[in-house]
Amino acid sequence: MKNTTLKEIANIVGGILHGPEGAEVGSIHFDSRLIQKGELFIALPEATPYLHSYAESAKANGAAAALVPSATGVLPEIVVPDTYEAFLKLAAYCREQLTQTQVIALTGSVGKTSTKEMLGRMLQAFIPTFVSYKNFNNHLGVPFNVVNTPPSMQAAVYEAGMNHPGEISPLSQMLQPHIALITEIAPVHIEAFENEEGIAAEKCCIFDGMQQGGTAIINSDSKHYNFCLRALDARGIKNIMSFGLQEWAHVRATILEQASTHTVLRITSPKTQFECKTNFVTEGYIRNLLACVAAVEVGGYDVTQLPPVIETLSYTEGRGQTYDCLYNNKTFTLVDDAYNASPLSVKEALLKVNSFKQQGLSVYAVLADMKELGPHSHYYHTDYLAPLLNNVEHVFLYGEAMSALAPLLPGRATVIVNLNDFAKELLAQVPDNAAVLIKGSNSMGLSTLVKHIVNHCSQRATT
């Protein structure tokens, strides 16, 4: 959002201004604790019972004004009947101002945030590019990012998420992307859908708001590839770019060298071919890398300039970052994948640590519940998961759902009773020259376990 006067904002959202008409704001936030100096505080409907105290908090943190359902007198204020609807009106206005910005929207069951960050880094090598904040990808996060996108940006990358039917289409309509991308479709949030095809249908709604002549980018390796093609045909979308490890994919990769720490690829696109080295070693991340290359080429940029950028990309905190740890004269590799978990992402994480087995390391895993799997939960925590653990020396299981796996791994599984006391127990049991994976849904709190382990060890982040 460009600097906009309170009078202009009041006109945009249909509100009544109590304050100086000429005062300007250039960005917004709906969390009074995180507001920055000069920003507009948007008091969402759920804030109404605590409106006055939130307004005071926003003021203390430097807010210039507030969008509120009723006047508080704390700040210059724009009063509207429904602050969320006003928020959406402001977002729609700001999207209209992005006349020189190529908008890219992406979704998927796994890999959204990592892919968004990778694509942003690639595009920033060519042009000023806005990358949406963290994983703000829902009915609040997407308008938040749209409003906070400077109109000077030549490209903007947004992610859209969901956990129920009907969520993605309105986000796509708001974003009106020139390029829309699906990373992968998998049984994530499946408790809200009849089956996996229902998830595929919801993900394909990312194409609903696409600009005339826009391009869809889809995963050729996905079992839902043909479903996506039919969904695109039903929407009259003709420009399609596929990515994957299939020989016929528009953007594809040949693996020239594979190690536990890196992969060397030959990437072929419709326009060119180049080689690059990446820190990613699992197929899921390599596919996401290819999706980004596809988007860059569709955007009109020379992808042969990407290898230096690709070489700097790596796993991030909570999403596969590794640490070389030293504890009581024992060395081990810690793989921090604690941010979230789904059946597919757990499989990918186990494939990554299995690569350490090839180096002669013993492999251990700490696994916690995968959430929102509905009636499929028991299957994905037991019969689906057990065969993937054949190369793991010992598995520590946390949570009611994951504990059901223990009987299928006789002598190789321990159920964690108290996570707070577990770090020291794990450090005592892990041998020298080992790799340890920590993976679970975010709500299970394994990120705290990672911090405890790192704090007890001499360590350094590697990738």
Just give the CATH number of 321-461: 3.90.190.20
Nearest Cα to Cα of residue 352 among 430, 434, 261: 261
Please list the residue range(s) of the chain that carry CATH number 3.40.1190.10. 98-312
Neighbours of 170 (CB within 10 A): 17
CA angle 204, 210, 214 (to 5 degrees): 110
Q: Which residues lie across from 395 on neighbouring strands?
A: 365, 413
β-pairing, 362-368 vs 330-337, is unpaired
pLDDT at 461: 59
pLDDT at 228: 98
Residue positions counted in the chain: 463
How many Å apart are CA 240 and CA 383, to the nearest integer? 37
Q: What is the DSSP letter of 185?
A: -
CA angle 70, 75, 78 (to 5 degrees): 45
| SS3 assignment, position 220 | coil
Q: How many Cα atoms occupy the beta-carbon half-sphere of 101 within 13 Å?
A: 26
Residue with tokens 């402001």: 90
How many Å apart are CA 415 and CA 432, to the nearest integer? 22
What are the tokens at 174?
């708001």
Instruction: Go through 343-365 and write b for each residue having 16 or more CB atoms within 10 A of its CB, e for each that does not.
Output: bbbbbbbbebbbbbeeeebbbbb
pLDDT at 358: 83
Domain range 98-312, its CATH number among 3.40.1190.10, 3.10.110.10, 1.10.3720.10, 3.40.1160.10? 3.40.1190.10
- The burial of 456, by beta-carbon neighbours within 10 Å (0-12 exposed, 13-18 middle, 19 or more buried), is given as middle
Question: For 240-256, how does the pLDDT look when each residue is reduced to its tens digit (9 = 90+)?
Answer: 999 999 999 999 999 99
Residue with tokens 């849904």: 441
How many Å apart are CA 295 and CA 179, to the nearest integer? 7
The tens-digit pLDDT sequence of the chain (463 residues) is 999 999 999 999 999 999 999 999 999 999 999 999 999 999 999 999 999 999 999 999 999 999 999 999 999 999 999 999 999 999 999 999 999 999 999 999 999 999 999 999 999 999 999 999 999 999 999 999 999 999 999 999 999 999 999 999 999 999 999 999 999 999 999 999 999 999 999 999 999 999 999 999 999 999 999 999 999 999 999 999 999 999 999 999 999 999 888 999 999 999 999 999 999 999 999 999 999 999 999 999 999 999 999 999 999 899 999 999 999 999 999 999 999 999 999 999 998 888 888 889 999 999 999 999 999 999 999 999 999 999 999 999 999 999 999 999 999 999 999 998 999 999 999 999 999 999 999 999 999 999 999 999 986 656 6
pLDDT at 68: 98
What are the tokens at 268?
């072929």
Q: What is the DSSP letter of 362?
A: E
CATH topology of domain 4-83: 3.40.1390
Residue with tokens 């081990």: 332
Helices (H), 322-445: 343-357, 377-381, 400-403, 422-429
Helices (H), 81-162: 83-97, 112-124, 141-147
Please list the residue range(s) of the chain that carry CATH number 3.40.1390.10. 4-83
How many Å apart are CA 380 and CA 371, to the nearest integer? 10
Instruction: Go through 58-81 and write b for each residue having 16 or more CB atoms within 10 A of its CB, e for each that does not.
Output: bbebebbbbbbbeebebbbbbbbe
The sign one gets for the Cα dihedral 147, 149, 150, 152 is negative
pLDDT at 355: 84
CA angle 386, 392, 396 (to 5 degrees): 75
**Is the Cβ–Cβ distance between 409 and 392 less than 8 Å?**
no
How many Å apart are CA 407 and CA 201, to the nearest integer? 36
For residue 124, what are the CA distances in angstroms to 118, 147, 153, 301?
A: 10, 20, 10, 11
pLDDT at 463: 62
Residues with Cβ within 8 Å of residue 284, at least 6 apart in sequence: 110, 111, 184, 344, 345, 348
Nearest Cα to Cα of residue 182 among 124, 122, 242: 242
Please list the residue range(s) of the chain that carry CATH number 3.90.190.20. 321-461
